[in-house]
Each structure stands twice: as structure tokens, then as C-alpha cells.
Amino acid sequence: MQETKEMKSPAEKRELIDTLIAISVVSRRLARKLEMQMLKEDKHGQNERAVDDA
């Protein structure tokens, strides 16, 4: 990755930091949502197998 040599203003730096924080927060929320969905599907699959085995 190539770095640029231009200096960013403090406002531009703050905006970049805020954007990175927002991306981090959204990615964590999506990961939790996916994890909960996977757990829900696992439980649903276990319930179906228990009924099928009976």
C-alpha cells in the first residue's frame, strides 16, 4: 500500500478516525447478529433432530 505524503488537517484526521470507529461498531454489531442467527439455527436444528429421532 502506498502512503501519501500530504498532511491532513486535524478536522480531516478526526473525520477519518470517526469513520473507522463507525466501521468498527457496525462490523461488531453485524458479527453479533450473525452469531445469534447461527446459534438460533443450531438450536432449531437440534430440536428437529430430537423430534425426528423419537
What phi, psi does 21 have (nearest 5°)? -65, -45
∠ CA 48-33-28, rounded to 5°: 150
- pLDDT of 48: 60
Give 1-54 pLDDT, tens digit per residue. 556 667 789 999 999 999 999 999 999 999 999 999 999 988 877 766 555 555
Calpha distance 47→39 (Å, rounded):
12
Predicted confidence at residue 50, as pLDDT, reads: 54
Q: What is the pLDDT of residue 30?
A: 98
pLDDT at 47: 65
